Amino acid sequence: MFDSLLSTNIISIADWQLWGVIVAFAVTSVTTCWVFFDSQRNQVSATFWRLITLVAALIVTPSATLRLFPYLQAGFSSQILQWLALGGAVATVISFLSLILYAVGLGVRSSAAPSQLQEMDPEPVEANEADPAPSPAITGPQPLVEPTLQIALEPEVEPEPTPESLAWLVITAGPRAGDTYRLGEMTDIGREPCCNDIVIDDPALSRQHARIRYEDGVFVIYDLASANGTLLNNQPVQRAELHNGDRLQLGQTHFAFMQVVNSPDTQDAQDEQTSQASESVLLTVV
């Protein structure tokens, strides 16, 4: 019914069974390796998918072996061979689906949780050396590619906070006037609850409207191709630096940008005189 590799006709196009077996074996092995190494590189827990793909590969292996080396089939009844073939086909499909679902799960996870420092300068590899035994449960061969991005730093590694890193958006109009939102390294603003740090239920806001990043002591706002644009002090902007007291308008929501300015010496002389004057007044009263 089929040519084996032992015959002089090595491969024939009509050998759909042989091709099927080769494809099955290739798919399951590639899938298993992909899931294992990708989850290890991304430091993502994917035990379930690893298990499924591994089991699928194990199921395909005897069927594939018997097809490729037909002289081994002498010891098995045809029924067993058929079951093995069917199991192999099913395992291949499951393996392929597992790969897709694993990738989807990764995609959902990465868009749902904007990690704090991941998009800033990638930390050098020294962090990897300091931690000799990272988490993965599977003791497979380590990937040759060193992970250069750390997902999250331990709290004690955070640098000293500086006063100018303190900034907020304040809603200045409407029913939520006075609400403050603390800005971090990266803050997304929009209507969509899933992917934004600041969620505003304003129909004039896009789902992903703007992003504010902290770049070297300055907060910069980026308009994320929003429908109604981002206005900074009544000027439409794509990318702009924010300064204390700037007014922002996203859709129909008005914000003020508030930042602690670390320069206590630049107080107006007026205020100095005021304080001294009021001091002297009170002293005489008392």
Partner 1 sequence: MSDSPQAPPAPTLLLDEAGPLFAWLVSLERSTWGELYALPWEGITLGSNPMNDIVLHDPLASPMHARIHVLEIDGQPRCQIQDLASTYGTWVNGVRIVRHNLADNDFVTFGDSHFCFKQLAPGS
Position 159 contacts partner 1 (CB under 8 A): no
Which residue, chain included where needed, has tokens 């992970």? 147
Choices 31-39, 63-71, 112-120, 239-247; region in contact with partner 1 by CB under 8 A: 239-247
For residue 256, the minimal CB distance to partner 1 (Å) is 5
Among 47, 110, 148, 180, binds partner 1 (CB under 8 A): 180
Per-residue DSSP letter, 40: H
Beta strand 198-199 with 186-190 is: parallel
Is there binding between residue 157 and partner 1 (CB under 8 A)? no
Identified binder of partner 1 from the candidate list 263, 269, 273, 284, rule CB under 8 A: 263
Beta bridge partner(s), residue 253: 250
Query: CB within 8 A of 138, min separation 6: which ones?
Result: 36, 40, 50
**Can you tell me the distance from the alpha carbon of 233 to that of 221, in angstroms, rounded to the nearest whole number?**
13
Is residue 244 a contact point for partner 1 (CB under 8 A)? yes
**Binds partner 1 by CB under 8 A, chosen from 182, 238, 243, 273:** 182
Q: How far is the CB of 257 from partner 1 (least distance, A)?
A: 10
d(CA 111, CA 106): 9
- Tell me the closest approach of the beta carbon of residue 284 to partner 1, in angstroms: 12
261 binds partner 1 (CB under 8 A): yes
The alpha helices in the chain, defined as continuous H runs, are 16-41, 47-68, 78-112, 126-130, 269-285
d(CA 282, CA 266): 26
Among positions 17, 233, 238, 273, the unique one binding partner 1 when judged by CB under 8 A: 233
Distance of CA 205 to the CA centre of its chain: 24
Tell which one of 75, 124, 132, 264 touches partner 1 (CB under 8 A): 264
- Nearest distance from C-beta of residue 169 to partner 1, angstroms: 11
Q: Which two tokens stand for residue 237?
A: 């902007």
Tokens of 23: 């494809």
Q: Is 170 in the site for partner 1 (CB under 8 A)?
A: yes
* DSSP-based three-state secondary structure for 52: helix
Residue 279 is a binding residue for partner 1 (CB under 8 A): yes
Which candidate, 175, 169, 155, 153, places its Cα nearest to that of 211? Answer: 169
Segment lying near partner 1 (by CB under 8 A), choices 2-10, 108-116, 146-154, 273-281: 273-281
Site residues (CB under 8 A) for partner 1?
161, 163, 166, 168, 170, 172-173, 177-178, 180, 182, 233-234, 244-245, 247, 254, 256, 258, 260-261, 263-265, 267-268, 271-272, 274-275, 278-279, 282-283
